[in-house]
Each structure stands twice: as C-alpha cells, then as structure tokens.
C-alpha cells in the first residue's frame, strides 16, 4: 500500500509547532472585568506618572501664591583688606557685617492674584489630562479583556472542531475496515484532523498573546497567569443623543482645552497689567564695623516702579496671549465636531454588532444542529465526508463570527464610554 507523502509532512509540522509553542494553562485565580480594572487603576505606571504631573501642577499654584508673602534675606560677611602705601605705613583693615532685609509687594494691581488664577486653570487642565489617562487605561483593559475572552472562545472552538474531526476520522476508519467506505475517506479525515490540530495550536498561541496584552494593559506584565470570567456583552445604557450631550460636557480632552483657554484669557489680563506700576516696600536692619560691638543701623524704603518702555516686549507678549486664546477656541470647536462624528460612527458600529450578535446566536445554534445531524447521518452510513467537513467548517466559522461580534460590541461600547468620560 502506497503511503501519501502529505500525511508524514503534516505530522512532522505538527510535532515541531507543538514543541515550539508553550501550552496555555491558567492558574486557579479568576478575575472579572472589574477586578482587572481595579488592579490597573492601582498599579499601572502610566497612571502613577500622570498623578505626579498633577502634583507638580498643584505645587505651581503654591509657587504663584508666594507673591503674597514677603521675602526675607539674611546676609553675613567678613572682609579683610590690605593696602600698600609709599607715604605711610601699610594699611590692614577688616570689616564685619550682618544684615536682615525684608521686601514686600504692597500693591501690584492684581498681578499676583491673576498668576494664581492662571495656575488654578492650568491645574484643572492637568486634572482633565489625568482623567483622560485614566479613561485610556480603562479602555485598554476592557479591549484586552474582551480580546482574551475571544481568544478563549477561539481555543474552545478549535478543541471542539478537533474533537469532531477526530470522531469523523474514527468513523471513517471503521467504515473502511469493513469495506463500506473507500480509503480516500480516511485520508481526507486525517487531513481534516491535522488542520484542526494546527488551528488549535494557533488558538493557543493567540490565547497566550491575548493574556500578555491584558497584563500589559493592567500594568502588571510579570503577574502570574490567571483566568477571566465570561461576560457576553455590555448592557447598553446610553443612546446616541444622550451620549453626545454627556461627551460635550465631560470629555476630558475637551475639558483640558477649555481650561487652557481660560488660562490664556487670564494671561491676557496679566500681560495688560504689566503696563501698570508696582508698589514695594523694603526694610533693612544691619550691623557693621571693624571691631565688636558693631555699629547698628536700619533703613526703610517704599518704592513705586513705573514701566515706561520695554522694547515693545509687553506688546508682543499680549499678542502671543491673544493668539493662544484664539488657538484654544478653534481647537475646542474642532474637537466638538470630532466628538460628534466619533459618537455617530461608534453607534453605527454598535448597532451593527448588536444585529450580528442577535443573528449569529440563531445561526450558531443552527450550525451546531447541522453538525450533529451531519455526524449522525455519517454514523449510520447515509452521509458523506463532504457533508461532515462542510458542517464542521460552518460551525467553526459561525462560532468565530459570533465571538468576534461580541468583541466588537464590547470594545465599541467601551470606546463610547471613554469619549463620554465614563470609567465603567
């Protein structure tokens, strides 16, 4: 009997791939989507870095407030000098000094308060940016979570297909041995089993990659393997009109632009105040002399500084501030239009995915019934291998399409939540 060269080659490929591909074995630890999000919010390094930027912005408010307080300086000095003279004896001198000075801005026409207001607006902008980072991490976790779920289902489907293909092969061999089926039926069934094994290997590889992607999204790359709970698809809480209204109010990127625009407007006001004078007061108390006890003295100075001409620098600063304001106004309008477009597109995708899920639920049940029927017919000898193979392929394709639709729905809804500023 002549052995086909195809089967040994396929067998060799399967052995090599099996050796190179690590088997996926989840630990007993089981996480829900909420669990994964909580872990990400606590330890994701991207979020921790964002929090430090927020702290930095808060400290800048304190720096701006320092203008309300006086500046106090203490100066201590010791000087020794020598002078060579041809007409008299050489002269050595020494001098001790100590001075405590206090400077206070008495009136600056609201410059300091405006600086504080600017930093407050910039802090709010940084808060919105931090919020956007949080929403981005949550979205990435959701996308990776449902991708892992899809990968799990792909592996389960591959296992089921392999099981059905192996059953088909066993039946074909039995029929061949009793002379009811030709040898080609066995060969086709063997190729079918080999293909099913290859699909299972690919599914296991995809599962491993999907688990790693979820760990990366959570910010715990070195975390031990874990399993996830099955979730079909998100409960729809928003309609398109409501989502758009919420997004225009809560979208963190839009809020960031609004607060930066407010800061630019405050900067315009601050620059205009550079044309105004500033009233300051300085008090000094000092000790000085060559020997102790030192002579003491004090001075008090009240000074009005009036800007006359600065080379038009203030004029150009004002133009820059106005340009910033116009920039953020245009960016705000552009982002509003972009958000509206995204919301509309996402709801089209969401509705499409929902319709696919509803249709594929029925189709998947029918495909399973068709597979059971085809296998049953083959078992009693009235069906053909082609019928069985077609039924297996149809079942595999339908199952894959169903879980792809579930993934598309969940990820699309997660993106809507991200745009509207909703974490969960």
Per-residue pLDDT tens over the stretch 387-419? 999 999 999 999 999 999 999 999 999 999 999
- Res 422: pLDDT: 82
pTM: 0.84
Burial class (CB in 10 A: 0-12, 13-18, 19+), 317: middle
Hunting for tokens 């086909």 — which residue is that?
Answer: 4
Hunting for tokens 């599914």 — which residue is that?
Answer: 203
- Res 8: pLDDT: 47
Q: What is the mean pLDDT of residues 377-384?
A: 86
**Does a cis peptide bond (omega within 30 degrees of 0) precede residue 83?**
no
Using 50, 70 and 90 to split pLDDT, how confident is the model at 231?
confident
**Does pLDDT of 16 surpass 70?**
no
In this predicted structure, which of 43-47, 301-305, 368-372, 381-385 has the lowest mean pLDDT?
381-385
Burial class (CB in 10 A: 0-12, 13-18, 19+), 269: middle
**What pLDDT, in 10s, does the model give residues 294-343?**
999 999 999 999 999 888 999 999 999 999 999 999 999 999 999 999 99
Using 50, 70 and 90 to split pLDDT, how confident is the model at 29?
confident
131/144 Cα distance (integer angstroms): 20
Using 50, 70 and 90 to split pLDDT, how confident is the model at 179?
confident
In this predicted structure, which of 18-22, 133-137, 215-219, 244-248 has the lowest mean pLDDT?
18-22
- Res 19: pLDDT: 45
- Res 232: pLDDT: 65
Burial class (CB in 10 A: 0-12, 13-18, 19+), 23: exposed
- Res 56: pLDDT: 96
Q: Residue 392: name the closest of 414, 373, 408 by CA.
A: 373
**Does pLDDT of 12 surpass 80?**
no
How many CB atoms lie under 10 A from the CB of residue 328?
21
- Res 90: pLDDT: 61
Domains, the chain, with CATH or none: 6-69+110-275+311-419 (1.20.1600.10)
Using 50, 70 and 90 to split pLDDT, how confident is the model at 381?
confident
Q: What is the mean pLDDT of residues 261-276?
A: 95
**What pLDDT, in 10s, does the model give residues 209-222?**
999 999 999 999 98
**Does pLDDT of 102 surpass 70?**
yes
């Amino acid at each position: 009997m002549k052995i086909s060269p195809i089967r040994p080659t396929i067998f060799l490929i399967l052995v090599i791939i099996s050796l190179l591909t690590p088997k996926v074995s989840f630990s007993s630890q089981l996480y829900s989507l909420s669990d994964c999000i909580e872990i990400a919010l606590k330890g994701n390094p991207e979020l921790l870095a964002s929090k430090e930027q927020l702290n930095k912005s808060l400290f800048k408010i304190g720096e701006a407030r320092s203008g309300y307080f006086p500046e106090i300086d203490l100066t201590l000095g010791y000087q020794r000098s020598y002078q060579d003279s041809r007409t008299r004896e050489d002269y050595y001198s020494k001098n001790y000094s100590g001075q405590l000075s206090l400077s206070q801005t008495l009136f600056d026409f609201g410059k300091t308060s405006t600086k504080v207001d600017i930093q407050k607006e910039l802090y709010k902008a940084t808060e919105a940016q931090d919020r956007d980072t949080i929403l981005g991490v949550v979205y990435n976790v959701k996308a990776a979570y449902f991708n892992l779920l899809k990968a799990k289902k792909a592996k389960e489907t591959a296992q089921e297909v392999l099981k059905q293909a192996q059953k088909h092969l066993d039946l074909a061999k039995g029929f061949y041995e009793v002379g009811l089926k030709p040898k080609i039926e066995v060969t086709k069934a063997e190729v079918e089993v080999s293909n099913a094994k290859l699909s299972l290997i690919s599914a296991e590889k995809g599962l491993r990659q999907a688990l790693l992607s979820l760990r990366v999204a959570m910010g715990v790359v070195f975390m031990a393997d874990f399993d996830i709970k099955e979730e079909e698809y998100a409960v729809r809480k928003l309609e398109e009109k409501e989502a758009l209204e919420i997004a225009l109010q809560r979208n963190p990127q839009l809020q960031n632009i609004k607060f930066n625009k407010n800061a630019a407007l405050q900067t315009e006001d601050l620059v205009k105040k550079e044309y105004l004078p500033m009233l300051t007061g300085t008090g000094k108390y000092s000790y000085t002399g060559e020997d102790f006890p030192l002579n003491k003295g004090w001075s008090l100075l009240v000074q009005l500084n009036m800007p006359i001409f600065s080379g038009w620098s203030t004029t150009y600063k004002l133009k820059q501030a106005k340009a910033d304001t116009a920039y953020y106004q245009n960016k705000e309008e552009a982002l509003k239009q972009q958000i509206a477009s995204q919301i509309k597109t996402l709801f089209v995708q969401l509705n499409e995915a929902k319709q696919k899920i509803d249709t594929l639920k029925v189709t998947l049940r029918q495909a399973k019934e068709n597979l059971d029927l085809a296998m049953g017919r083959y078992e009693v000898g009235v069906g053909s291998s082609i019928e069985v193979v077609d039924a297996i392929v149809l079942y595999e394709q339908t199952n894959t399409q169903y879980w792809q639709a579930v993934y598309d729905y969940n990820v699309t809804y997660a993106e809507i939540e991200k745009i509207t500023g909703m974490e969960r």
